[in-house]
């Protein structure tokens, strides 16, 4: 019989980092214990870490609050991985035989191994979605046992820039936390929000985020396409701020309160005046035009990604994500996409199934990926909160030399990474300390000198 497990998960979103802690109970239910968030416009952009130091600090803040509020120590973390470079790439592996053979599991496994050995410059394979196999002249999902002298395996490799996962690993190494496992956030979200019927019938999940829009296409229960478009709700906000000469905060408020993805001019011809900062006013139509122009660009990019699959999307297009909360998103897509036939469109704000007493953001899809990670994870991530560490006086003097300097701005690659201290620096520090004291410097030696001086003074006085 299973036991309760406490799981901790971190997701690097397009403009924020979110953390969650929950308990997977032995009876299969999920108890959500805590949720934390840090806005990270200065260190994570489009899901990609570009400032290691600030990202480490943001994750530290999240985990520290989780530990303090739950009275536990987090030693392992599951991480959701996304980012602008995440996408699928088709690959094909062919095997010919001198005579007809019965296709075995070993042959199928060898095709997969050859596929995974494929090298992409500056990219790594994070996951593989096998498609169909061509055995002889027929296509099948189950090639084992078929007699043939030829087999072709088709795959969708989920790839991302190598630096994406490398920088995540650097952050958690700096924190001293073990990564219990990686999950590809868009695929986890799709498996959580889409039903088996939708994935089998053909469906596209469109996740409209702050800085990115992710499109995942399924058909016959197989991932057919995945791409991250570098456009999102923040682009609309930035357009408003730039055009109307205002701060991003005010522009975001205007978008949320008055914005719409599509306006029907025939419904209301009245143009209102809107009060904005510094005593200024603008025509409501000006705001409409700004929002519609960028929203149309985003949705036309989505259409471009799914157009080749449009005949197979019997379950239609499902919209989710924070930026999908803008009014009339379904109407906008129907009017901007212009497919040859009408495609079913729906918006999902499915509430993840969990038990909690916490007051959370009512936009439940904001934490759907995190909840999905809690449900998939199977490794205990916490232990009892440890006692406050006792001071090791002998180690204090060498601690500074072992602490790495703060990394510079931007993404740090392997080639740019600098060790905490070079041999020359260490040798120089040692010579300097040797000149002050022949013994190894530590708190005890300094304390001893002070005591000697005090005692000498007492002797002289006596």
| Pairing relationship of beta strands 30-39 and 16-24 according to DSSP bridges | antiparallel
What pLDDT is attached to residue 364? 45
In the chain, DSSP finds a helix count (H) and a strand count (E) of 13, 20
Please tell me the pTM assigned to this model.
0.76
The separation between CA 215 and the C-alpha centre of its own chain, rounded to angstroms, equals 15
202 and 322 share one domain: yes
| Pairing relationship of beta strands 317-320 and 345-347 according to DSSP bridges | parallel
What domain range includes position 58? 5-84+164-189+353-384
The separation between CA 440 and the C-alpha centre of its own chain, rounded to angstroms, equals 46
CB atoms < 10 A from the CB of 430, how many?
Answer: 13
201 and 258 share one domain: yes
Angle, in degrees to the nearest 10, between helices 52-70 and 162-175? 50
206 and 300 share one domain: yes
Helix or strand holding residue 459 (H, E): helix 443-461
DSSP 325-365: GSBTHHHHHHHHH--SS---EEE--PPP--B--S---S-GG
95: left (phi over 0), alpha (psi -120 to 50) or beta: beta
Tell me how many domains the chain contains: 4
11 and 95 share one domain: no
What pLDDT is attached to residue 350? 53
39 and 181 share one domain: yes
State both tokens at 295.
Answer: 């929203």
203 phi/psi in degrees, rounded to 5: -155, 145
CB atoms < 10 A from the CB of 238, how many?
Answer: 14
The separation between CA 3 and the C-alpha centre of its own chain, rounded to angstroms, equals 29
Q: Taking a C-beta distance cutoff of 8 angstroms, is the pair 187, 158 a contact? A: yes
Residue 392 lies in a domain: no
Q: Taking a C-beta distance cutoff of 8 angstroms, is the pair 111, 406 a contact? A: no
Q: Taking a C-beta distance cutoff of 8 angstroms, is the pair 77, 174 a contact? A: no
CATH number at residue 21: 3.30.420.40
329 and 202 share one domain: yes
92 and 78 share one domain: no
What count of residues does the chain have? Answer: 462
State both tokens at 27.
Answer: 């009876």
325 and 226 share one domain: yes
What pLDDT is attached to residue 180? 95
Residue 321 lies in a domain: yes
210 and 221 share one domain: yes
Render each residue's pLDDT in the chain as its tens digit; 462 residues: 468 899 999 998 767 899 999 998 888 888 899 999 998 878 887 678 889 999 999 999 999 999 999 999 999 999 998 888 899 999 999 999 999 999 999 999 999 999 999 999 989 999 999 999 999 889 999 999 999 999 999 999 999 999 889 999 999 999 999 999 999 999 999 988 899 999 999 999 999 988 889 999 999 999 999 999 999 999 999 999 999 999 999 999 999 999 999 887 766 667 789 998 888 999 988 999 999 999 999 999 999 999 999 889 999 999 988 888 898 888 899 888 777 667 888 877 555 566 665 655 544 456 888 888 998 999 999 987 664 544 444 444 444 444 444 333 333 333 343 444 444 443 444 444 444 444 444 443 444 444 444 444 544 444
CB atoms < 10 A from the CB of 381, how many?
Answer: 23
Q: Which of 1, 9, 4 is nearest to 377 (CA)?
A: 9
37 and 117 share one domain: no
235 and 310 share one domain: yes
Residue 393 lies in a domain: no
Residue 44 lies in a domain: yes
């Amino acid at each position: 019989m299973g036991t309760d497990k406490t799981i901790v998960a971190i997701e690097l979103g397009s403009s924020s980092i979110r953390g969650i802690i929950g308990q997977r109970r032995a009876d299969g239910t999920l108890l959500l214990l805590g949720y934390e968030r840090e806005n990270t416009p200065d260190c994570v952009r489009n899901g990609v870490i570009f400032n290691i130091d600030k990202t480490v600090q943001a994750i530290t803040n999240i985990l520290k609050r989780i530990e303090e509020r739950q009275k536990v120590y987090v030693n392992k973390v599951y991480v959701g991985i996304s980012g602008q470079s995440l996408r699928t790439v088709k690959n094909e592996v062919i095997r010919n035989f001198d005579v007809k053979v019965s296709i075995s599991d070993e042959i199928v496994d060898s095709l997969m191994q050859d596929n995974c050995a494929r090298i992409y410059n500056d990219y790594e394979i994070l996951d593989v979605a096998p498609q169909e196999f061509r055995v002889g002249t027929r296509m099948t999902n189950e090639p084992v046992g078929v007699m043939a002298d030829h087999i072709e395996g088709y795959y969708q490799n989920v790839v991302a820039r190598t630096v994406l996962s490398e920088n995540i690993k650097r952050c958690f190494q700096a924190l001293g936390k073990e990564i219990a496992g990686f999950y590809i956030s868009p695929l986890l979200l799709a498996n959580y929000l889409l039903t088996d019927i939708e994935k089998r019938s053909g469906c596209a999940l469109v996740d409209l985020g702050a800085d990115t829009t992710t499109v995942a296409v399924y058909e016959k229960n197989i991932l057919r396409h995945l791409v991250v478009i570098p456009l999102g709700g923040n682009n609309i906000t930035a357009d408003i701020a730039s055009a109307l000469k205002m701060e991003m905060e005010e522009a975001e408020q205007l978008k949320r309160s008055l914005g719409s993805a599509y306006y029907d001019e025939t419904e209301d011809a009245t143009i209102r005046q809107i009060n904005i900062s510094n005593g200024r006013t603008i025509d409501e139509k000006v705001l409409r035009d700004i929002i519609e122009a960028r929203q149309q660009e985003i949705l036309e990019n989505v259409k471009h990604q799914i157009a080749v699959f449009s005949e197979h999307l019997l379950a239609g297009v499902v919209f989710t994500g924070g930026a999908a909360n803008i009014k009339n998103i379904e109407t906008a897509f129907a009017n901007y996409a212009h497919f040859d036939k009408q495609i079913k469109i729906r918006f999902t704000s499915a509430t993840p199934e969990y038990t909690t007493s916490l007051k959370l953001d009512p936009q439940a899809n904001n934490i759907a990926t995190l909840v999905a990670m809690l449900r998939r994870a199977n490794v205990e991530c916490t232990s009892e909160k440890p006692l406050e560490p006792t001071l090791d006086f002998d180690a204090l003097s060498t601690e500074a030399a072992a602490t790495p300097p703060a990394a510079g701005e931007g993404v740090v690659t392997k080639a740019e990474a600098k060790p905490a201290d070079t041999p020359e620096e260490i040798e120089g520090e040692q010579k300097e300390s040797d000149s002050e004291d022949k013994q190894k410097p530590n708190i005890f030696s300094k304390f001893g000198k002070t005591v000697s001086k005090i005692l000498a003074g007492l002797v002289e006085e006596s």
